[in-house]
Amino acid sequence: MALGAGYLLVKGLSMAYSALLSLRPGKYLPSRYGQRTWVLITGASEGIGRIFAGELGRQGFNIVLLGSDLEKLKAAEKSLLEECYTENQPKIQTKIIVADLTKAHEEDFADKIYAQIQDLDVSILINNAGLFLQKPYLEASADEIRNIVIMNTLATSLITRALLPRLAARTQRSAIINISSISGVLPLPRQQIYGATKSFISFFSRGLASEYPNLDILSVQPGLAHHAKGAEENHKDCPVARPDEVVRTSLKALGNYDHTCGHWKHESQSWLMRNLPGFLRNLYVQKIGPL
């Protein structure tokens, strides 16, 4: 009984400490990384990537939008410029880069991207682009497996490698945000490959944060349900946060921590997945269903 009570006390204090950390105020990013500097965002035409672009654009950062669909990127650029225009600050600058991240295994992949931004003062890199796969493992095709592993792990690694020397050499601080997932916290059925790639992102990010303490490196592990169609309807028992809530909380964590789930709702879900005893964790996963 004493051991059980001690276990619960330690876990309870751990959760309380995580909650208290979330109250820490965020940094003023333009001063920390440089006024009018550039942010490179992969997967920037929609979803979390597009919301990061809007949040940082409104703070006065110039934005590089990278994606595979030129028309979607142009539409995102147009709406971004309209969204970030005010009479009280100069118009931000934007740049579009078209790149298929499933081709990251090809020679000079990252060099071709770097060549298009080498004259820009990039202060923040956001590796957001990723593929999602949820199906029984034997129903996944070889192409699906190959593409998700290449985009979610290799593309992130190589783009980071290409920009890291410049980011580390800046006189002001620089930042890297890598979008992982709560699916990388605990192995889940039907998401083996996806969860494994997101676990890679988390380990990769936190290893870099230890190796480069002069950089602000953040791994974001949001719950998948926050952006899924019908998430609120299908996951009533699962804490769900909106994409804009995830982005704002993540930017608040930048420079303060090396990882976050992007919102207290997902922090609590992650805590349960990591700390519940095995049989209760399995029951919890079965109850909330696929993330």
What is the pLDDT of the chain when averaged over all its residues?
83
Q: Is the pLDDT of residue 228 over 80?
A: no
- What's the whole-number mean pLDDT along residues 44-49? 94
The tens digit of pLDDT for each residue in 161-189 reads 999 999 999 999 999 999 988 776 777 77
Is residue 271 in some structural domain?
A: yes
Domain ranges, residue 103: 27-288
* Per-residue confidence (pLDDT) for residue 91, from 0 to 100: 87
The tens digit of pLDDT for each residue in 79-106 reads 999 998 776 777 899 999 999 999 999 9
The tens digit of pLDDT for each residue in 239-258 reads 566 788 889 989 999 999 89
Task: List, by residue number, the catalytic residues.
Answer: 194
Q: Is the pLDDT of residue 24 over 80?
A: no
Is residue 72 in some structural domain?
A: yes
Is residue 196 in some structural domain?
A: yes
The answer to whether the CB of 54 falls within 8 A of the CB of 24 is no
Confidence band of 230 (pLDDT split at 50, 70, 90): very low
The number of distinct structural domains making up the chain is 1
CATH number, domain of 67, equals 3.40.50.720
Q: Is the pLDDT of residue 226 over 50?
A: no
Is the pTM here over 0.85, yes or no? no
